Amino acid sequence: MELARLLRKGDISAREITESVFGRIGEREETINAFITTTREIAFKQAKEADARFRQGGDIPLLTGIPVAVKDLLCTKGIKTTCGSKILENFVPTYNATAVKNVLDAGAVLVGKTNMDEFGMGSSTENSIMGPTKNPLDPKRVAGGSSGGSAAAVSSAESILALGTDTGGSIRQPSAFCGVTGIKPTYGRVSRYGLISYASSLDQIGAIGKTVEDCAMMLDVICGHDPLDTTSANVAKPDFKAAIKEDLEGIRIGIPEEFFSEGLDSRIKEKVLTAIGLMEKNGARVVPINLPHSPYAVSTYYLIATAEASSNLARYDGVKYGFRNGVDMADCMEMYEKTRTEGFGMEVKRRIMLGTYVLSAGYYDAYYLKAQKARTLIKEDFDEAFKTVDCIMTPVSPCLPFTLGEKMTDPLQMYLVDIYTVSLNLAGLPGMSLPCGTVDDLPVGLQIVGNHFDEEMVLRVGAAYERIAFSNRNHNHGI
């Protein structure tokens, strides 16, 4: 990353970078609404510490002095963590999520906590008690979701990097909508300790930046085994930054037919296929594949995610955390009911009800168990595909960033936006969204999917594409 290099040469200070980021927040935030909380004082203090380290010299972690925004679903010690919900409006955690701790230990500057769909439930960041985040590239449009605040903050230069979470696409889809790069690592690669759970078997923390290198830098810091999370994988952490230097020679790219058919905006299809064609010209080999159970991914996801959510969100009862409605403790049931009725937004309540229903006796076998079986089949499709390919490429979203309010009255339309992203969470696979062109000045995202724990391949292919696409653009348009 250019900024890390400039900091080391002394050409720029962490204070100056922090000033620029807060300058942008001053100019843009009223329109964009990327943040729920900004942490200006903390940021300048951290920047000062970073500059002191640079003056001392020696071996300094790459993230030192770099501004990072954190999704408001990751616990930050002493800083409000709301999940975009009234029920956690005044919740101040007593500890940092492991990913946050790692980023801060590496010397990063915390810009603030970013806006999101309540508890991560949504695809547009319109389900936030703080109001929607707008797309910096066209404020009449949504930023995507649920990590819309994180993607918008990076896109508008209100931050340099951001942490997001991805349960069914929430890093990749907003990255695509805001024209930035975002990666969801393999399930288990990053500790979920301190991530406020939505659907625990699907949730994963990841990185958003302008480039693949930015994401690799962040992954180097946040990945790794953590005894505080029992699902954290005890596997060796590769040097992600090293992976991005290699080219595309001999790489086999799988193109799943099911991801390019009905429902996909033809202009998006063309951009994605053009990007893949460019990679083919530069040494990669395209292999048509099938992921036959993909048509079941959205329904499978919405059964499993809501089932897990209904259980995870049972803890918000007005007793243990945040908001409480009703002081008459003589009637606890009434207090629970009032608290949850008023504390949760519409979409969260819809999902709790759906999840409770699919787990209830009599419906469990027909819905939840069936969904678990479908999940296995979806994963097996990918296992089979990865026997013959090194990575898989698809669009991120079937549509361009839509206008605010456009899909709010029809939840099913909103759920369908996740059609190309949810399979990866169901299968636990890593995936990245990176910009591959524009349609009517709106960005299009290319999704690169890797095998389990093969983020290196995803990053390598993504970085190689960036190099080719940029040199191509320079060549063609002289930019």
Which residues would be at the binding site for ligand GLN (CB under 6 A)?
120-123, 146, 166-170, 198, 305, 418
Among 170, 294, 310, 433, the one annotated catalytic? 170
> Is 48 among the residues known to form the active site?
no
CB neighbour list of residue 141: distance below 8 Å, 6 or more residues apart: 134, 135, 177, 401, 402, 403, 404, 442
What is the rounded distance in angstroms from the CA atom of residue 332 to the CA atom of residue 160?
A: 46
| Sign (positive or negative) of CA dihedral 473, 474, 476, 479 | positive
> Is 433 among the residues known to form the active site?
no
Identify which of residues 279 and 429 has a Cβ nearer to ligand GLN in the complex: 429
What is the rounded distance in angstroms from the CA atom of residue 304 to the CA atom of residue 230?
A: 20
Reading the block at residue 349, the tokens are 């309540």
Identify which of residues 136 and 148 has a Cβ nearer to ligand GLN in the complex: 148
What is the rounded distance in angstroms from the CA atom of residue 189 to the CA atom of residue 191?
A: 7
Smallest CA-to-CA distance from 60 within 190, 221, 214 is with 221
Identify which of residues 305 and 335 has a Cβ nearer to ligand GLN in the complex: 305
Q: What is the layout of strands, in order, in the sheet containing 161-165?
A: 35-38, 109-114, 67-71, 161-165, 205-209, 181-184, 431-439, 442-450, 391-395, 252-256, 285-289
DSSP symbol at 454 = -
Q: Provide the minimum distance between the beta carbon of 377 and ligand GLN in the complex, in angstroms, as a whole number.
A: 20
What is the rounded distance in angstroms from the CA atom of residue 72 to the CA atom of residue 133?
A: 13
CB neighbour list of residue 91: distance below 8 Å, 6 or more residues apart: 80, 81, 82, 321, 322
Identify which of residues 195 and 243 has a Cβ nearer to ligand GLN in the complex: 195
Q: Provide the minimum distance between the beta carbon of 51 and ligand GLN in the complex, in angstroms, as a whole number.
A: 36
Q: Provide the minimum distance between the beta carbon of 384 and ligand GLN in the complex, in angstroms, as a whole number.
A: 25
DSSP symbol at 130 = T
> Is 175 among the residues known to form the active site?
no
What is the rounded distance in angstroms from the CA atom of residue 283 to the CA atom of residue 465?
A: 11
Among 124, 128, 146, 175, the one annotated catalytic? 146
Q: Provide the minimum distance between the beta carbon of 54 and ligand GLN in the complex, in angstroms, as a whole number.
A: 36
Identify which of residues 129 and 248 has a Cβ nearer to ligand GLN in the complex: 129
- Which of helix, strand or coil describes residue 139? strand
CB of 371 closer than 8 Å to CB of 299: yes
Q: Provide the minimum distance between the beta carbon of 299 and ligand GLN in the complex, in angstroms, as a whole number.
A: 13
What is the rounded distance in angstroms from the CA atom of residue 16 to the CA atom of residue 5?
A: 14
Reading the block at residue 150, the tokens are 């994180």
Using the structure block, give the residue that is written with the tokens 């243990």: 320
What is the rounded distance in angstroms from the CA atom of residue 129 to the CA atom of residue 145?
A: 14
Identify which of residues 426 and 457 has a Cβ nearer to ligand GLN in the complex: 426
Identify which of residues 123 and 128 has a Cβ nearer to ligand GLN in the complex: 123
Identify which of residues 187 and 336 has a Cβ nearer to ligand GLN in the complex: 187
Among 71, 86, 101, 210, the one annotated catalytic? 71
Smallest CA-to-CA distance from 421 within 182, 188, 172, 215 is with 172
Q: Provide the minimum distance between the beta carbon of 46 and ligand GLN in the complex, in angstroms, as a whole number.
A: 28
For the chain, the residue count is: 479
Q: Provide the minimum distance between the beta carbon of 200 and ligand GLN in the complex, in angstroms, as a whole number.
A: 12
Q: Provide the minimum distance between the beta carbon of 36 and ligand GLN in the complex, in angstroms, as a whole number.
A: 16
> What residues act catalytically?
71, 146, 170
